[in-house]
């Protein structure tokens, strides 16, 4: 028997009246009074359809202005649809705009009591969980200060602490991991891992493909208010990144900031060659990528490797953090990684081998160095890589 979804969205659309010119507000108000739709509207979402079942994790990705936050507000009842329908069931916890749901004049403790009551916790249950909430938020004496005195990171800490204590059936969150220090981000990710492992359901909006791919199994890509792709998180996120690459390829390169970043790529040698020109390797041969990264504070960085076709299509990416590989310390803040592809299964063509320097937690990207790689050889196959295969005899 199929499990009923916690979220069902059908033909969802959201439109707003255009209010950019003098007289637009009066015209829109007059349309409302007369009971007719506004004559001039802008569409934010159009014909969005998807379901989220218990235990699933769905990421919502897309550029700024694609309609992601509007979608979450429609799901949580903050906004009403212009067309289509949204149905939800079960307990829902939402972390949307900073400070949403918190009264700025009340203390953090009073806001916790109010928020917990809205989530259905009685006084005795809250009393038992209050120490857990205070420990998770970890804002010290500020818990008894008015929320209007909080930084954005402290607001998120308090909001996430309440959600962690309530453990709703469905958690809806919008870029909450983008705010706060790295220690708190790691704490949130550990909690989310446990939440999902114990049957929780997550709907996450994020621009971080690291968090998207780590936490979610499925993804929906919104582009200009419409669904551009819906399905497996890796397939959808890779299509989105490829589209971003294509867009960036036709834009002027951004100016490089002066000074060395906190973690930087010092050198990348390919099969012993650290020159600036393209490196050439035969398809099926061995390719060794010898990388030196620099850390200003002496902490060992994470290396992220990415293969990209000449037209910007992502081919493959892996990081030292994913494979549990530690850097070789060379001294003076320099760290070495050696990565070997043997055999190199790329089909002949032009590629870019991208080396990224990330912080030790593997959360933030600080520097990138590209090397062009020409994969030589003769092949009649199609695509990007040569997959191991064999033909079977009839009846085998």
pTM for the complete prediction? 0.62
Over range 286-296, report the average pLDDT.
Answer: 93
Q: How far is CA 189 from CA 95, 175, 184, 342, in A?
A: 15, 13, 9, 34
Q: What is the pLDDT of residue 248?
A: 65
Is 291 in a helix, a strand, or coil?
A: strand
Q: What is the largest CA-CA distance in the chain?
A: 77
* pLDDT tens digits, one per residue of 45-103: 999 999 999 999 999 999 988 999 899 989 988 889 989 999 999 888 888 765 557 88
Look at residues 31, 101, 51 and name the one whose alpha carbon lies nearest to residue 73: 101
Structure confidence at residue 19 as a pLDDT band (50, 70, 90): low
Give the whole-angstrom CA distance, residue 11 versus residue 16: 17
Q: What is the pLDDT of residue 65?
A: 87
Tokens of 296: 């200003």
Residue boundaries of the structural domains of the chain: 263-376
For domain 263-376, the question of CATH label 3.20.20.70 is answered with no
Over range 106-116, report the average pLDDT.
Answer: 87
Q: Calculate the average pLDDT of the chain.
A: 84
Over range 216-238, report the average pLDDT.
Answer: 91
The answer to whether 281 touches 271, Cβ cutoff 8 Å, is yes
Q: What is the pLDDT of residue 1?
A: 44
Which DSSP category does 146 fall into? B
- 138: pLDDT strictly greater than 60: yes
- 143: pLDDT strictly greater than 70: yes
Over range 28-33, report the average pLDDT.
Answer: 59
Structure confidence at residue 254 as a pLDDT band (50, 70, 90): very low
Look at residues 124, 206, 204 and name the one whose alpha carbon lies nearest to residue 163: 204
Over range 124-139, report the average pLDDT.
Answer: 88
């Amino acid at each position: 028997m199929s499990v009923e979804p916690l979220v069902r969205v059908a033909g969802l659309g959201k439109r707003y009246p255009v209010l950019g010119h003098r007289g637009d507000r009066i015209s829109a108000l007059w349309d409302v009074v007369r009971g007719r739709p506004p004559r001039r509207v802008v569409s934010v979402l159009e014909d969005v359809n998807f379901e989220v079942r218990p235990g699933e994790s769905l990421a919502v990705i897309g550029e700024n202005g694609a309609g992601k936050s509007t979608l979450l507000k429609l799901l949580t009842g903050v906004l009403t649809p212009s067309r289509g329908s949204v149905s939800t069931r079960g307990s829902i916890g939402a972390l949307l705009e900073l400070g949403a749901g918190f009264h700025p004049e009340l203390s953090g403790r009073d806001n916790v009591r109010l928020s917990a009551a809205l989530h259905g916790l009685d006084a005795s249950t809250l009393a038992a969980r209050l120490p857990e909430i205070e420990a998770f938020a970890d804002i010290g004496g500020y818990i008894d200060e008015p929320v209007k005195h909080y930084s954005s990171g402290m607001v998120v800490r308090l909001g996430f602490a309440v959600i962690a204590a309530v453990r709703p059936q469905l958690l809806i969150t919008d870029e909450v991991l983008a705010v706060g220090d790295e220690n708190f981000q790691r704490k949130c990710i550990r909690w989310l891992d446990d939440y999902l492992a114990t049957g929780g359901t997550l709907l996450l909006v994020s621009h971080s493909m690291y968090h998207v791919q780590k936490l979610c199994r499925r993804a929906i890509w919104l582009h200009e208010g419409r669904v551009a792709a819906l399905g497996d998180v890796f397939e959808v996120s890779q299509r989105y990144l490829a589209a971003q690459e294509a867009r960036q390829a036709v834009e002027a390169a951004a100016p490089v900031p002066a000074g060395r970043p906190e973690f930087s790529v010092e050198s990348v040698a390919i099969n012993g060659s650290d020159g600036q020109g393209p490196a050439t390797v035969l398809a099926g041969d061995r390719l060794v990528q010898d990388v030196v990264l620099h850390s200003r504070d002496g902490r060992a960085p994470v290396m992220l490797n990415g293969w990209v076709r000449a037209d910007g299509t992502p081919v493959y990416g892996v990081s030292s953090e994913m494979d549990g590989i530690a850097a070789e310390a060379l001294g003076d803040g320099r760290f070495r990684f050696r990565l070997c592809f043997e055999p190199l299964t790329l089909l002949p063509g032009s590629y870019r081998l991208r080396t990224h320097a990330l912080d030790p937690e593997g959360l933030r990207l600080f520097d990138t160095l590209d090397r062009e790689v020409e994969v030589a050889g003769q092949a009649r196959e199609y695509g990007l890589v040569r997959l191991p295969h064999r033909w079977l005899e009839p009846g085998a």
